[in-house]
Amino acid sequence: MKAVILFFEVHQPRRLRVYRMKEIGHSHNYFWDERNSEILQRISRRCYVPTLAAFIENEIKASVSVSGTFMEQAHEYAPESIDSFKSYFRSGLSEVVAETYYHSLASVWNEQEFIEQVDQQVNTLKKEFGVEPKSFRNTELIYSDDIARVARSMGFKRVLAEGIDSVIKGNSPNHVYRSTSGTTLFLRNYRLSDDISFRFSNWNWSEYPLTADKYAKWIDDAPGDVANLFMDFETFGEHQVAETGIFEFIRALPHEFKRRGIDMLTLEEADKRFEKRSTISVPNITSWADTRRDLSPWLGNDMQREAFNALVKTDKKNQIWRNLQTSDHLYYMSTGTSQDITVHEYFNPFKSPYYAFLSFMNVLQDLMLQ
């Protein structure tokens, strides 16, 4: 292994409050502003600001996508986080990656809506950070040949996907590939990624504790050209709190990589360095979520499908309607499997998936009356 690519998703939804049936037709205040403010300020303090400072101090290269809903709320509730991202993006260590503005499922139901949301995001990134991204990463790594085709038509040169066994079919995610549309395709190494994002603080894991030298050795010993390590930015300081040693780990990684001759590259740099191994076809939609790595985290039960179909039919074409498209709202309705439900419960601001469904449907009904 000669290189690693660190990619991070930065996203926060506008969470809905408990919106009751009796409010329909009377109240149009849908969003849980108090809770959203509290969460943004906490994560900014625990994650965004200290992590970005550590990245700059230790010259850690990463490719990063930031959703429009995050940027809106960060400006409103935690402007210091926006300042930190600006400092990092100006450092020359990072590549900014595009996604849908509302972190939505638009790519799976309406191509024009998908294009409009990506265009809105690209224009916002130009205005906010002075960059025009040429790499694209769809919501929750949702990917297919058709999504790559649309991304190519919008001018993107590189697309990211999950490197699951059904996709690579005996190949390794540790190479650079091409999509069927001709874009460069980077496949997430989910095992190495999840070692940090999910298993780092798990005392029952056979490899606990995970140290920087151990992790660098795993990458060095793995066959292939590049390890694609894709995860939530909130891994640092939020999902894996400071007391786990996650910041000491991330600060030590560059030294261990350098000691073993492993380069940290952005997506663009890796695209230029490595030959494309072959073309990978993904006819069916995949994602990086849950054990099934498909659309089931958002459309896996009757509640989710009913809510999604009602949302699509509403077609209000305004900001509230598009905020309701944010994938998290459907994710909160998941009843999941025994392997995945703990993660869903961790993120869900409601007492249960059923409360999430009822509030969403009540909001949607009120919106339809306007």
User: What CA–CA distance (Å, rounded) separates 177 from 173?
Assistant: 9
Which residues, listed in sequence order, are joined to residue 158 by a DSSP beta bridge?
A: 135, 184
pLDDT tens string, the chain, 370 residues long: the values are: 689 999 999 999 999 999 999 999 999 999 999 999 999 999 999 999 999 999 999 999 999 999 999 999 999 999 999 999 999 999 999 999 999 999 999 999 999 999 999 999 999 999 999 999 999 999 999 999 999 999 999 999 999 999 998 888 888 999 999 999 999 999 999 999 999 999 999 999 999 999 999 999 999 999 999 999 999 999 999 999 999 999 999 999 999 999 999 999 999 999 999 999 999 999 999 999 998 999 999 999 999 999 999 999 998 889 999 999 999 999 999 997 766 677 878 788 988 999 999 999 999 999 999 8
Please state which CATH class domain 3-295 belongs to.
alpha beta
Pairing between β-strand 135-136 and β-strand 226-232 as defined by DSSP bridges: unpaired
Look up residue 356 and give its amino acid: A
Helices (H), strands (E): how many in the chain?
Answer: 17, 10
Reply yes or no on whether 95 is catalytic: no
| 322 in Cβ contact with 104 (< 8 Å) | yes
Backbone Cα Rg of the chain:
20
Helix (H) / strand (E) containing 292: none
Q: What are the sequence ranges of the domains in the chain?
A: 3-295
Q: Kindly report the pTM of this predicted structure.
A: 0.96
| 321 in Cβ contact with 110 (< 8 Å) | no
Helix (H) / strand (E) containing 200: none
| 148 in Cβ contact with 181 (< 8 Å) | yes
Active-site annotation holder among 99, 113, 140, 238: 140
